Structure formats: structure tokens, C-alpha cells
A and B are shown apart, each in its own frame.
Chain A
Amino acid sequence: MGLLRRFRQGRFSRIIQKIFGKKHARIGIYGPPNVGKTTLANRILRDWTGDIMGSVSDIPHETRRAKWKTNIKIDNGGSSLSMDLVDTPGIATKIDYKEFMNTYGLDKEESRTRAKEATEGVIEAIRWLEDIDGVVLVMDSTQDPFTQVNVTIIGNLEARELPILIAANKIDADDASPATLKSAFPQHPVVPISALTGYNTEDLYSNMVKHFGHRRHKKKGAKK
């Protein structure tokens, strides 16, 4: 395809997107293990496609390979967002197989395999950062938000100038404190939700359309 033709098609498609409010983006669901990333991915898919992304579990690192679905369309009144959704493995700085044995009762072999796969999953999640247009960063609103994983992901995305939407999950829990998350990261929109019950997901969808709709020029690698 000629360059001029491609340029015209790109420009034409941007004009159409501007007029009709249709946008396409690759959105990654990120966060530490066990904050509800796959539960949220399942919720989004169930609401907009009737499909699901993957299995969920109370045992950390249930998702050890990135999974994705393409061409999901979210409508928000007059505007919409067409996206590819990537559910990434939880990012952690340490993985101890003994935790799976002692806390969750897995046998040694199973625990070691899970831990090995989890380390590969973390690497895969980090590599996906190169290929996404925006991130829904899922945090557990019952936990301290100032974890190094949260700070590192946010810093990395800010350096690339990619949009971040924080989903303050598990708002249905008694000890949830979304206000703590809001005060911790005031520079980004924080939407309190329960991916499990579906509470306030309409607000999340409306924020996703608004926030990820703009085409942005991402800085590759963001090396300093």
C-alpha cells in the first residue's frame, strides 16, 4: 500500500472517529496479584460480549499467561470505545513457592510449578507494556496502595505518557477505603468498583471511553 494512500486512510479514519466518537485502543489490565484483574476482565467481557477471559482463584498468580480478546465495543451515550483487552498476570517483585504450600495448601510439586510459571508471567506482563495504549490499573481498596509494584507501574506509564485509569476494586468489602487510593494517586482518575458484584462498573465504562478515547503518541521504552 502506498504511503500517501495509507496516510489518507489514517487521516480519514481519524476524521470519522472524531465525528462519530469511535476509537480503538489496546487496553491492558494491570496490577499486583490477587487484586481482581481477571474478575474485572470477565466482568467487562460478560457485560459487552457475553464471553469470559479466564478462571479466577483466591490463590495468587492464577493468571500466569496474558490473555486477550479483540474488538470489544463499549458504548457510552453518544460515544464509544472499540478496544482489544489484555488481561495480564500479576506483577510482583518476589515469588515464594512455600507461600502456596503453607498458606494455600498446594503440594510441593504444584507450588514449585506455579511459582516458576508465575515468574514467567511477570516477565510477560512487563513486556506487554510496550504494546498497549492505556492501562486499567487494578488496586485492592482494602490494601495499602503505596506498594512498589503500583508505584513502578504508574511511574513507567507516566514516563511513556500513557493514560492510566485506577480501578479501586473490592469496594464491597467492609474494610474498603477508596478514598485512600484517591489521595495516594491524585493525578489519575480513580473509580471505586466491585468487579465481583458489578457495583459502579457503569462509571468505570464511562471513564474508559472518556479516558482512552484520545489517540496518544506513546514514547517507546521511555528510557531516561
Chain B
Amino acid sequence: MKKKEKGISFNLISRNKLNKFSSSEKLSFILKEVKKGSILVLEHGLTASEQTTLIENTMKEIDHDTFIGIEMGGYEEEKMSFFQRVFGINRKPRMTVIGPAHLLKMVHKDNDRIETTIIPGRGVS
């Protein structure tokens, strides 16, 4: 039997996969993966409304000995042009990184750069 290697799982989730989920399925998937210790990079991030719901769901899941919450960083949703607004086109969320707060720490974030670090001593075999 192949021994599973220890380490931090870093998963890039495609836009295609995310689009197949409903909003609540997407949030359940993310929270389940993050609780398992994975760090996710979503090609197509979450809307502000989904992010708020994710925070709410995270608070319900916090267990003070095993899961203290999430660290999340994403760019603002795309700005819409006048014509997009007129035609009711929704704003698109952009790339987002999400991980368990005991592993992932946001170092810096601005309009062009999201800098994260793995908390030293965690997940390294």
C-alpha cells in the first residue's frame, strides 16, 4: 500500500468545477476541504454574498480545539461597464485563496497582490 505523504495540500480549483456547483454546494465543498487542512485557490472566486455566508458557516463550524476558522483573500469583483449594468450583467468574482486559519496567514493584500504565508511549524513532515 502506498503511504500517503504528509504535508500541506494546496489545491487549485478550476472555474469549470466551481461552475458545476450551486452556491450552497460550493460553500460546503470549500468548508469541507479547508476543515480537512487543504488550502484552496479558486480560479473563479466567491461573490461578496457568498463570502458573507462562508464566514457565517465557518463560525458555526468552529471547534476551538481543531478548527479556529479560515483565512481568505481575494480580489474585488470585476467592475462593470455602463453597458454591462444596463443589460443586467452580474459582476464576476475573481481569484480567491482560502485555507484553515491555523495554517495560512495573510501577510499583505492590495489591488494587485495577495501575499500569504504558511504558519511555521505547521504541516511540515
* Residues of chain A at the chain B interface (Cβ within 8 Å): 91-97, 112, 115-116, 119-120, 122-123, 126-127, 129, 144, 146-149, 151-156, 158-159, 221-224
Contact = CB atoms under 8 A, between A and B. Distances in A.
B64 A115 contact: yes
A94 B71 contact: yes
B23 A223 contact: yes
A123 B64 contact: no
B59 interface: yes
A96 B70 CA distance: 11
A122 B58 CA distance: 10
B62 A159 contact: no
- Interface range for B: 20 to 34
Nearest to A116: B64
Nearest to A154: B48
Contacts of A93: 55, 58, 69-72, 101
Nearest to B51: A152
Contacts of B5: none
Interface stretch (B11-19, B35-43, B73-81): B73-81
B106 interface: yes
Contacts, number: 90
Contacts of B90: 224
B109 interface: yes
B122 interface: no
Nearest to A119: B59
Interface of B: 23, 47-49, 51-52, 55-56, 58-60, 62, 64, 68-74, 76-77, 90-91, 101-102, 106, 108-110
Contacts of B70: 93-94
Given A93-B55, A94-B69, A112 B64 contact: yes
Chain B at the A interface: SS class: mixed
B56 A126 contact: yes
A144 B68 contact: no
Nearest to B55: A93
A156 B59 contact: no
A7 to B, nearest CB: 28
A92 B69 contact: yes
Contacts of A154: 48
Contacts of A122: 55-56, 59
A146 B110 contact: yes
B82 to A, nearest CB: 15
Nearest to B67: A94
Contacts of A96: 64, 68-69, 101-102
12 contacts: A93-B55, A93-B71, A93-B101, A96-B101, A115-B64, A122-B56, A122-B59, A144-B108, A152-B52, A154-B48, A155-B48, A223-B23
Given A93-B70, A224-B91, A159 B47 contact: yes
Given A151-B74, A151-B76, A146 B55 contact: no
Contacts of B64: 96-97, 112, 115-116
